[in-house]
Structure formats: C-alpha cells, structure tokens
C-alpha cells in the first residue's frame, strides 16, 4: 500500500520546506523533491497546501463513565471525529474508581478502545493510594506502555486525590521514569462554594463558574508545582485555563523547574459569557471544569503558547447530550462536566492562531503534535514528517473554510461549543497509519483500525 503526497509544503516543528512525502504500509519512507512512486500508488495532490504531522490530542475522554452517566462519544465515534479534523492520535484516560485495581481498570479501557479508528494511548489516573497501587504503577510502566499518571485535585467524594496520594504517586512516578500530571483545582473549595451557592438558591449553570474561580485553580497549580519541586519530579498541568495558573508555571520554569502546561482549544476561544445565557441547554452545554473564563485569561493563554510556557493544545473531549446535561436542571453541581472539540481543535487553533499571526505554521505543529509527542515520549514515531515516522499526516488547505456546527459534525452529543464559527484552514485529507481516513469532506474511518501506542518510560533516575 503506497501513497504519495505531491507538491505540498511540509511543515515540521523545526522548519517548513517543499517536498513530496512517500508512504509505504504504515510508515513514511521518503521525504524529498520529485520522488518516484510506483504506478499503483495513490496520489494526493497537495499543491498550495501544507503537509503536517497528524494532530495529537493529549487529553480526551471517550466512553467515560462520569457523574452518573457515560459520554456520548465512544472510541470509534470520537477518534473518527478526530480524523475528520486532522487529529490522528489521542491520549485518553483510564480512571479507576477508588479502591479499584489499576490493572483491572486499564484492561477495561483497553477493551473499550478496541473499536477506535485512530491511534490511542492512555494516561492512568491515581484516585487512591495503597501498596498495591504502588506495585501496579510499576506493572503499567514496565509492561503496558504507560508513562504518565493523572491526578484529579478536584471532584471531592469521587476521584479526587489528596495530598498524601499526590506525594506518594509523584515520588513513584519519578522512580519509574513516568511523568505526573494534574487537573489543578482545589476540590475542597469547589465543594464548599457549590454548597454555599445552592443554599442561596443559586442552582442554575451561571453558578458553575462562581464555584470554580481562578484562585481555586491557581491554588492547586501552585500546590502541585511545590510538591513537584520538593520531590524533584517533572509536572504536566492539564487544561490551564487562567492567567494565575499560567503565572505559576511561568515562575516555576524561570526557576528551573520542568513544568509543562496544556491549553484547551475551548479555553483559548470561548469566554464565560456563555454561562449567562438563559437557555439551560446552551449554558449547561458549556459546563466543564475548569470553566470558560473572562477574555483577559484567553489573551494570557495565547501569550503562554506564544512565549513557550504552555506547550500543548488539547480538547478534553468529553461529550454529553442535552438529556444527560439535564440531570443538573435543578442543581448545577450535577450537570455532567465536559464539552467536545476533538474534531475542531486543529482548525480553530489554525484560524485563531496562525491566521491572526500569533503562531507560525511550525509553532502550530509544535503545539498540536510535536510537543505532545516529545513530552509523552512517542517522538519521532509521532509528531514529525520524517523517514521512519508513522504515516499520520494531515494535508492542510489554508484557503478552504468551514462553518462549524453540531448539525454537520461527526462527533456525537448534538452540541458544539464552537457552533457558528467559520474557520479558514481545514484538512483536505487525513492519512492515519498510511491509510486515507478523510478526504475532501468524506470520512472513511474504519472501526478497529486504530492501534494502542505504547509509550516507553523515560530512563529512571536510579538506572542512570
Ligand atoms: O469538565 C471536564 N473537564 N470533564 C472531564 C473530566 C476532567 O476534569 O478533565
Ligand atoms: Zn500492554
Ligand atoms: Zn480535568
Ligand atoms: Zn479531562
């Protein structure tokens, strides 16, 4: 199976250059000008277009059982939607219930992911602590291609990790050559603020952001950074949504700490006015944590990406339909938290980032694939157009445009936080493991075609 992409401009994180790209099987086998290809090869004309590494979304939740329900997108529909938008790899989350075996949960998620159409990998959440958790973290790293562990500092009475769990798990991660990651929000404060608001009769979605102000996020970001500093571990902070958290990362990095930050496409584009909409379905459709913020925070997040203190862009794709969101009609704290975006991330970041001059095309590649591949140790298999890399490629038409709508999206849930936004710069073709999965608006994603991506540990300090 040979494919040649002819006449485009290859964009990698380090440079852009005119070249053809030849793929054989699931790999890129040649990159250069005027390449020969067998007569039987599929030819993709990339004249006037960019040829970039397929997007890596390092933060999705497909098939997630959460807040009493299960997300609308499973691993097939979610990864297929990603392929339509130029994202060829997701890193999702295994989230064991407290007291549940990590390995048992890992096997459950691997089972659900069998139907994925694109490649996938897993962070594993540490939601409780015992000697058995310490042991199973080792097994996951050594035998199952896991090199990152997630800690929810929010969601009290559910999956929240307390400080003891954070400290023990960060220390264990370091020992194993894995990277700890955190959802930074002070779960105790969120819980108390929710109770205060409900007692005052403020039960609607407009209370959601009031229960999770920036200081609640910043406290947790600072605490996680302090713990990582004391233990000398690296740290990756997911969905950084506010200036105060970014400032904490910037300070830590200036002091020599290896702290990485992730920005969500939604947080970069959408502001908190959505929660004032009187239509419950609309406001609840935007309920996610951390919430959308005031415009000054979006400006700060763009500066973080431009200045190199934020490293990756993700979506936290976690879709619920209106009927599911309605569980919180009389109590905002019961609205299932989560929004979509895996289909739209690349285009909205190109449109708002590259078209505006905030990012160069190479910087776009850096924040949509290359940095995630490096931080989570799958580079150069992913995140670069180079000989030997996976043939995960997006052919990007910078002049074509699309108006985003839930009516025309492939993702489930019937809602889109980017509804009505017209973006210029969209994929004309997506190649996943050498196979054409999306071409000129047509989705050819195949259930089960995705593969689990093992992510090797970084060399443990003790082994150096
Ligand atoms: O609201 C969100 N973000 N839902 C998904 C779970 C999480 O916190 O990432
Ligand atoms: Zn395995
Ligand atoms: Zn989160
Ligand atoms: Zn999440």
- How many other C-beta atoms are found inside a 10 Å radius of the C-beta of residue 60? 28
Beta-bridge partner residues of 89:
56, 119
Nearest CA to ligand 1 atom 4: 338
- How far the first Cα of the chain sits from its last, in Å, is 42
List, in sequence order, every beta strand (DSSP E) within 209-333: 235-237, 259-264, 312-314
- Would you state the pLDDT for residue 463? 46
- Would you state the pLDDT for residue 109? 98
Q: Which residue positions in the chain have pLDDT lower than 50? A: 463-464
- Are 92 and 62 in contact, with CB atoms under 8 Å apart? yes
Going from the C-alpha of 387 to that of each of 44, 52, 380, the distances in angstroms are 18, 14, 10
Mutate to test the pocket of ligand 1, among 338, 339, 340, 342 (most ligand atoms within 8 A of CB): 338
- Would you state the pLDDT for residue 461? 52
Mutate to test the pocket of ligand 1, among 57, 58, 61, 415 (most ligand atoms within 8 A of CB): 61
- Output the CA 303–ligand 3 centroid distance in Å: 22
Ligand 2 is an ion; its neighbours by CB within 5 Å are 144
- Which residues are within 8 A (CB) of 200 and not within 5 positions of it... i.e. 6 or more apart? none
Question: Mind listing the domains of the chain with CATH numbers?
Answer: 2-52+384-396+425-443 (2.30.40.10), 54-375 (3.20.20.140)
- Output the CA 152–ligand 3 centroid distance in Å: 7
- Are 194 and 333 in contact, with CB atoms under 8 Å apart? yes
Structure tokens at 290: 């951390």
- Output the CA 374–ligand 3 centroid distance in Å: 21
Find the residues whose C-beta lies inside 6 A of ligand 1.
61, 183, 288-289, 316, 318, 337-338
Nearest CA to ligand 1 atom 1: 288
Nearest ligand to the C-alpha atom of residue 325: 1
Report pLDDT digits (tens) over 244-298: 999 999 999 999 999 999 999 999 999 999 999 999 999 999 999 999 999 999 9
Query: Which of these, 311, 285, 321, lies nearest to 370 by C-alpha position?
Result: 311
Give the position, in ligand 1's atom list, of the atom nearest the Cα of 154.
8
Nearest CA to ligand 1 atom 2: 338
Structure tokens at 147: 């090199």
- Would you state the pLDDT for residue 55? 99
- Would you state the pLDDT for residue 459? 73
Give the position, in ligand 1's atom list, of the atom nearest the Cα of 288.
1
């Amino acid at each position: 199976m040979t494919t040649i992409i002819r006449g485009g401009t290859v964009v990698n994180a380090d440079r852009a250059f005119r070249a053809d790209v030849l793929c054989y099987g699931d790999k890129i086998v040649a990159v250069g000008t005027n390449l020969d290809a067998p007569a039987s090869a599929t030819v993709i004309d990339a004249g006037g277009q960019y040829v970039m590494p397929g997007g890596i979304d390092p933060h999705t939740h497909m098939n997630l059982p959460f807040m009493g329900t299960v997300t609308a997108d499973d691993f097939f529909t979610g990864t297929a939607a990603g392929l339509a938008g130029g994202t060829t790899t997701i890193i999702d989350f295994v989230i064991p219930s407290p007291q549940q075996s990590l390995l048992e949960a890992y096997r459950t998620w691997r089972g659900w992911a069998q139907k994925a159409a694109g490649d996938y990998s897993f962070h594993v959440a540490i939601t409780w602590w015992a000697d058995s958790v310490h042991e199973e973290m080792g097994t996951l790293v050594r035998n199952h291609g896991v090199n990152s562990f997630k800690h929810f500092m929010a969601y009290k009475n559910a999956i929240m990790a307390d400080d003891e769990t954070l400290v023990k798990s960060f220390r264990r991660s370091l020992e194993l050559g894995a990277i700890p990651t955190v959802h930074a929000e002070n779960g105790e404060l969120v819980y108390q603020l929710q109770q205060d608001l409900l007692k005052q009769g403020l039960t609607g979605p407009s209370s959601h952001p009031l229960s999770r102000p920036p200081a609640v996020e910043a406290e947790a970001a600072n605490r996680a950074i302090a713990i990582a500093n004391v233990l000398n571990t690296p740290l990756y902070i997911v969905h950084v949504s506010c200036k105060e958290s970014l400032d904490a990362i910037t300070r830590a990095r200036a002091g020599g700490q290896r702290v990485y930050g992730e920005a969500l496409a939604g947080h970069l584009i959408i502001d908190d006015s959505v929660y004032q909409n009187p239509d419950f379905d609309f406001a609840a459709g935007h309920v996610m944590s951390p919430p959308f913020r005031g415009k000054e925070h979006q400006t700060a997040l763009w500066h973080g990406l431009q200045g190199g203190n934020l490293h990756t862009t993700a979506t936290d794709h976690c879709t619920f339909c209106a009927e599911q969101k309605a569980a919180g009609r009389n109590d905002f704290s019961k609205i299932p938290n989560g929004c979509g975006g895996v289909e739209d991330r690349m285009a909205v970041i190109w449109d708002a980032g590259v078209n505006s001059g905030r990012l160069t095309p190479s910087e776009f590649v850096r924040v949509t694939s290359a940095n995630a591949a490096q931080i989570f140790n799958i580079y150069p298999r992913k995140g670069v157009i180079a000989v030997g890399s996976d043939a995960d490629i997006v052919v990007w038409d910078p002049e074509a445009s699309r108006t985003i709508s839930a009516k025309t999206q492939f993702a489930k849930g019937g809602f889109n936080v980017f509804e009505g936004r017209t973006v210029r710069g969209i994929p004309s073709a997506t190649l996943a493991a050498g196979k054409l999965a999306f071409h000129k608006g047509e989705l050819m994603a195949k259930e089960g075609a995705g593969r689990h991506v093992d992510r090797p540990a970084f060399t443990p300090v003790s082994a150096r």
